[in-house]
Chains A and B, each alone.
Chain A
Amino acid sequence: MQISTDDRDDVLLRRAARGDEDAFTCLYKRHQAALYRYALRMTGSVWSAEEIVQEVFMTLIREPRKYNSERGAVGAFLFGITRNRVLKHLERRPREFSIEDVGLNTPYYREPVDPVTPAVWAEQRERVAQIRDAVLSLPEEFREAVVLCELEELSYEEAARLSSCPIGTIRSRLHRGRALLLAKLELLRQTPRRATANG
């Protein structure tokens, strides 16, 4: 059976539930990147992000009837599962990965764009590492607000919908997250990066 790019997610999900592998693959390809990015930015670990995305779609394979179209789009449903998995993962392994595990050498962290010289490239790389560490050290709810509004560049309304909380809560979390982030960045900048890496 042919898959049209215009096919709605719920149609694809229904077909997948009936055993249509192409429909399932199409649904996966549509949503995996966004879910993976969110999980990666929240956990800071490519392995955890991979595991979480896999678990999310496993749930979809095993229990496709869990989705209720009256409660929202398939994308939001998948994001909800991903969010729960991420939070569970962070609860289970709050400090399990070290900053070095997260590593910028993985293929999923792109190198900074247009490095003029090796020195600029190294400086950019260090700044990215610092900001990433600062984001990862934020408490979960503030981190989520920063990831959704600053990294995913979602509006406050969209972030509030995805986080299942009022817009005022997102605004307040973002405010506190930013303040903490600024404080942590200042702290990190005072300590040379190499010293941190070497323990």
Chain B
Amino acid sequence: MNCDEFEILGLDLNQSGADSEQRAAALDHLRHCSHCAGLVESWEEARAELFLLGDATREAQAPLRVEMRLRQEFRAQRRPLVFYRRAGLVAAWGLAVVILVAGAWNWENWHHQQPKARVINQVATNGAQQVTAPNEVLVADSDTGAFIPLPGTIPIESGDASVMQVRMQRGALAALGLPVDQEHASDWIRVDLLVAEDGVPQAVRLHQATTQEGPSQ
């Protein structure tokens, strides 16, 4: 080992990762080289002083005011984040409650309408003589296909009324006393006529497809 190699490895044999062979060579060089022996001596002295410097700053810490400032900054930065997160949570809960209430309200409505619709349907399909009142007809008109009593007829309580399905021009409804939009008078429509025992039509039911463009009430 020469002096240059020794300077790289020999000053710090423990830390430099030198293997046993290099270590032995370094120690051998040190025994025979007075220059390197002097260098090691100077370095050991400097290292002792470095240790003093290291020791003087070993327990140095950032002052407490740094922590205070950082915590203040942390709060300032995170406050909007926490606010938005909380606002989001409240909004989500609010939305959930609104959906729940709307669902309950819809179900309640549907639940109340069901029996009425079922009765009206039953009357119509069985050809029963029970004809709904005019204000109910408006409700049933589009939903259930209920019979609309013709003007001048007396609602029948019971009897052997029958349902007759006919295809006619819309204008023909005028003959039964129903108001007809003249623009559509020539349209062909399908209607069910509730015919009494004596053969006189008592009520009329427009089919769903024709109801939408049916006679104006």
Q: Give the contacts of A48-105 with B (CB-CB under 8 A).
A: 49-50, 53-54, 57-58, 61-62, 104
Cβ A151 vs Cβ B56 within 8 A: no
**Given A50-B62, A54-B69, A108-B57; A19-B78 close (CB under 8 Å):** yes
Contact flags B140-158 to A (C-beta < 8 A → 1, else 0): 0000000000000000000
Q: Give the contacts of B50-82 with A (CB-CB under 8 A).
A: 50, 52-63, 66-67, 69-71, 73-75, 77-78, 81-82
- Give B48's nearest chain A residue, CB to CB: A127
Cβ B53 vs Cβ A128 within 8 A: yes
How long is the Cα–Cα vector from A111 to B53 in the complex, in angstroms?
10
**Given A50-B66, A128-B49, A132-B53; A40-B60 close (CB under 8 Å):** yes
Contact flags A145-172 to B (C-beta < 8 A → 1, else 0): 0100111110110000000000100011
| Number of inter-chain CB pairs below 8 Å | 125
Cβ A182 vs Cβ B57 within 8 A: no
Residues of chain A lying within 8 A (CB to CB) of residue B1: none
**Given A25-B67, A150-B54; A110-B11 close (CB under 8 Å):** no
- Give A31's nearest chain B residue, CB to CB: B62
Is B7 engaged at the interface, CB distance under 8 Å to the other chain?
Answer: yes
Cβ B17 vs Cβ A61 within 8 A: no
CB distance from B63 to the nearest CB of A (A): 6
How long is the Cα–Cα vector from A63 to B17 in the complex, in angstroms?
39
Size category of the A interface is 35 or more
Contact of B15 among A21, A54, A151, A155 (CB under 8 A): A155
Chain A residues with CB under 8 Å of chain B are 16, 19, 21, 24-25, 28-29, 32-33, 35-37, 40-41, 49-50, 53-54, 57-58, 61-62, 104, 108-113, 124, 127-128, 130-132, 135, 146, 149-153, 155-156, 167, 171-172, 174-175, 178-179, 181-182, 185-186
Chain B residues with CB under 8 Å of chain A are 7-8, 11-12, 15-17, 39, 42-43, 46-47, 49-50, 52-63, 66-67, 69-71, 73-75, 77-78, 81-82, 85
